[in-house]
Amino acid sequence: MKSYGEFENLRRKFENSENVKKLEDAKLKAVRAGNFAKVAQYNALKEKLWNEVVASSHRKQIGIIEFIKGMDEEDKYESYLYLKSITFMVDCFDFILASFIEKLQKYDNAASFSQFDNMIKLNHEYQEQVRHLMKVGDEDYFVNFADNSEILRETILDKVREGIDYYKNKKEKQCSSSENTNKNQ
């Protein structure tokens, strides 16, 4: 970085990023719940992310999109497919995990589910990496991202519901057929 102004600009972008805002919201919920261990974890994660942003600002950066543009058409298509699929899945994972934790905390607002901490941390790190790789110039992709991601989430949840219902119905049929067998004997 060449000047204090550039540093402040980078800091402002960081503070206004969607992931940092989500992190701050989660931290505020933890404060309200009195979960100060979680607050400390959020502060540490934010500091780590900031340090990564500062360190990466000193390196020559090339967006993955710019890199992909140099590929032949077939590889370019598949690369976009993979990158955007991963991004959608990460967003779906984040939303579903947050919804699940929220549902659990409905019954105990102060509860902390440490078994999810590493998943949440990894997910936030990945989201930052994707945004870093795609760079700010690739924002057109993110304009419709939320709507498409919601459709994917609902499709995933519907398929899981179908699987659960199938298994539940199968179990019920097994139970009722064994009851009928016992009655006939």
Average pLDDT over residues 85-112: 81
Cα 50 to Cα 54: distance, rounded to the nearest angstrom: 6
Q: 101-130 pLDDT, tens per residue? A: 888 888 887 777 777 777 777 777 777 776
C-alpha closest to that of 19 among 51, 49, 39, 48: 49
The answer to whether 116 touches 40, Cβ cutoff 8 Å, is no
Q: Which candidate, 157, 156, 125, 130, places its Cα nearest to that of 142? A: 130
Question: What's the whole-number average pLDDT of the chain?
Answer: 78
| Confidence band for 75, pLDDT divided at 50, 70 and 90 | very high
Q: Span 42-61, mean pLDDT?
A: 77
Residue 6 has pLDDT above 80, yes or no: no
Distance between CA atoms of residues 137 and 130, nearest Å: 13
- Stated pTM of the model: 0.49
Based on the number of CB atoms within 10 Å of its own CB, is 50 exposed (0-12), middle (13-18) or buried (19 or more)?
middle
Nearest partner of 39 among 48, 49, 30, 47, judged by Cα = 30
CB 109 within 8 A of CB 115: no
Structure tokens at 158: 């519907």
User: Angle CA(170)–CA(162)–CA(100) in degrees, nearest 5?
Assistant: 115
Q: Is the pLDDT of residue 18 over 70?
A: yes
